[in-house]
């Protein structure tokens, strides 16, 4: 399980209370008002998990990255955060193999003693600006796109090509996505319509890039190891072959030791988990569509034990539907195999499919406030407590309406 501490970075001031850290053990949700630091924290987590993976694989040497200049101009500049740091900034990341510490404008990498296995992750940051890629023609020819958006665009283009042979059923409204390789056009279709994605609703333009990339990368990670091996970069494959050759020629190791080491080596160079970081999954979606989008993301996250999902959201519906997932998981866990349990399971699945149900122990939700502080939303009886800013805003709305009725 990775953890992260952030203080005095951009809009984040005090951050979490002393002694507390962000924990990423399954599904993590950042909620709060605009400009409170949700995306800042998500982008830092994305960058540091990428760095840990790169160090484990040997893409980067610790000596190259072990300085503040690399942290600022390479890591943080990718997401436009280079100017967010000052003398008081503190960032501490604890991963499985490495720890990173930023303090007093000094960046330090520390190797951790950890088990040999490392589930090398495919990391995807799904930016809020994704709808731009579906709303204009040929976004790939536009220069000076933000680096994170350009990175997402590359995966989006690959995903469209990957799903070009057959229409893909979407999670929304019994609709389908299709892509024509000859014309490079994307379409949304239903029982009695088919329209170009360029002319579809803003909800589809926000949802489809997120859905396609998530589905594509989930399937990419779940393919056989041999098939994934073919998709290594040339440099990575060269390093892998060199290390494998040295391992096989080591006369001081027996066959079993070589097999164990070769398995560990393969884990380092092939993706075996998926870290999906999604800004505003609710973007431009009706509440019931938000539920369907969320349940799809949760299902993808549940695909493998080491998968991780991080969401940033302004939507009270996302929090409420997440609670439905948590409650459903409790019910599924309590059922046995008798006839009444089968019937109850069917009833629960009509509300939340089992593939989208998440154990509360794997969920952490944090609330970012406008004063730069952060607090973790507590749980009661396995679900998130109602006392949060989003619900408070709804209460305030009802109170304002009541005040008007009294005038």
| Residue 46: band (very low, low, confident or very high) from pLDDT cuts 50, 70, 90 | very high
Model pLDDT, residue 384: 85
Task: State the DSSP code for 224.
Answer: -
CA-CA distances (angstroms) from residue 260 to 62, 159, 222, 264, 330? 25, 34, 21, 6, 37
Model pLDDT, residue 393: 73
pTM (predicted TM-score): 0.88
| Neighbour count for residue 338 (Cβ, 10 Å) | 9
For the segment 83-112, the average pLDDT, to the nearest whole number, is 96
- Chain segment 146-169, per-residue pLDDT in tens: 999 999 999 999 999 999 989 999
> Helices 147-162 and 202-222, interaxial angle, to 10°?
70
Q: String of b and e for 252-265 (b: at least 16 CB within 10 Å)?
A: eeeeeeeeebeeee
Closest alpha carbon to 325 in 301, 350, 366, 360: 360
Closest alpha carbon to 381 in 356, 353, 405, 360: 360
Distance CA 63, CA 48 (A): 16
Closest alpha carbon to 106 in 78, 74, 76, 66: 66
CA-CA distances (angstroms) from residue 131 to 43, 208, 211? 19, 8, 12
Closest alpha carbon to 102 in 89, 111, 114: 89
Q: Give residue 184's region: left, alpha or beta (phi > 0; psi -120 to 50).
A: left
Mean pLDDT of the chain, nearest integer: 89
Distance CA 212, CA 205 (A): 11
**Which of residues 118 and 41 earns the better pLDDT score?**
41
Model pLDDT, residue 265: 59
- Chain segment 350-379, per-residue pLDDT in tens: 999 999 999 999 999 999 999 999 999 988
What is the 3-class SS of 237-303, one letter each residue? HHHHHHHHHHHHCCCCCCHHHHHHHHHHHHHHHCCCEEEEEEECCCCCCCHHHHHHHHHHHHHHHCC
- Chain segment 242-283, per-residue pLDDT in tens: 666 776 777 777 877 766 666 665 666 678 899 999 999 999
Q: DSSP 3-state assignment of 5?
A: strand
Closest alpha carbon to 88 in 10, 171, 177: 10
């Amino acid at each position: 399980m990775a953890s992260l501490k952030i203080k005095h970075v951009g809009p984040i001031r005090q951050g979490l209370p002393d002694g507390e850290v962000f924990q990423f053990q399954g599904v993590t949700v950042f909620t709060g008002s605009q400009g409170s630091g949700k995306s800042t924290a998500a982008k830092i987590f994305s960058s540091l998990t990428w760095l840990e993976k790169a160090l484990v694989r040997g893409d980067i040497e610790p000596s190259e990255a072990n300085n503040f200049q690399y942290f600022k101009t390479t890591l943080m500049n990718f997401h436009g955060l280079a100017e967010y740091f000052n003398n008081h900034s503190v960032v501490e990341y604890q991963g499985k193999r490495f720890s990173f510490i930023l303090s007093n404008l000094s960046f330090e990498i520390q190797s951790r003693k950890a088990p040999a296995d490392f589930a090398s992750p495919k990391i995807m940051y799904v930016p809020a600006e994704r709808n731009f890629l579906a709303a204009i023609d040929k976004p790939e020819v536009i220069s000076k796109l933000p680096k994170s958006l350009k990175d997402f665009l590359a995966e989006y283009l690959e995903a469209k090509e990957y799903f070009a042979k057959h229409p893909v059923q979407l999670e929304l409204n019994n609709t389908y996505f299709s892509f024509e390789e000859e014309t490079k056009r994307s379409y949304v279709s239903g029982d009695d319509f088919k329209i170009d994605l360029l002319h579809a609703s803003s909800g589809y333009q926000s949802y489809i890039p997120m859905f396609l990339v998530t589905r594509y990368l989930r399937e990419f990670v779940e393919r056989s190891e041999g098939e994934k091996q073919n998709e290594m970069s040339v440099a990575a494959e060269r390093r892998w072959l060199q290390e494998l050759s040295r391992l096989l020629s080591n006369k001081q190791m027996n066959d079993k030791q070589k097999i164990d080491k070769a398995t560990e080596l393969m884990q380092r160079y092939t993706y075996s988990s998926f870290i999906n970081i999604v800004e505003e999954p609710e973007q431009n979606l009706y509440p019931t569509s938000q539920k369907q989008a969320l349940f799809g993301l949760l299902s993808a996250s549940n695909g493998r034990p080491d998968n991780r999902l991080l969401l940033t959201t302004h939507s009270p519906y996302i929090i409420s539907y997440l609670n439905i997932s948590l409650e459903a998981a409790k019910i599924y866990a309590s059922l046995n195999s008798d006839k009444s349990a089968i019937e109850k399971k069917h009833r629960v699945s009509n509300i939340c499919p089992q593939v989208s149900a998440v154990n509360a122990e794997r969920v952490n939700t944090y609330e970012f406030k406008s004063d730069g502080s952060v607090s973790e939303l507590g749980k009661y009886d396995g679900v998130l407590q109602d006392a949060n800013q989003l619900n408070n805003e709804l209460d305030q709305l009802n109170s304002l309406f009541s005040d008007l009725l009294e005038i």
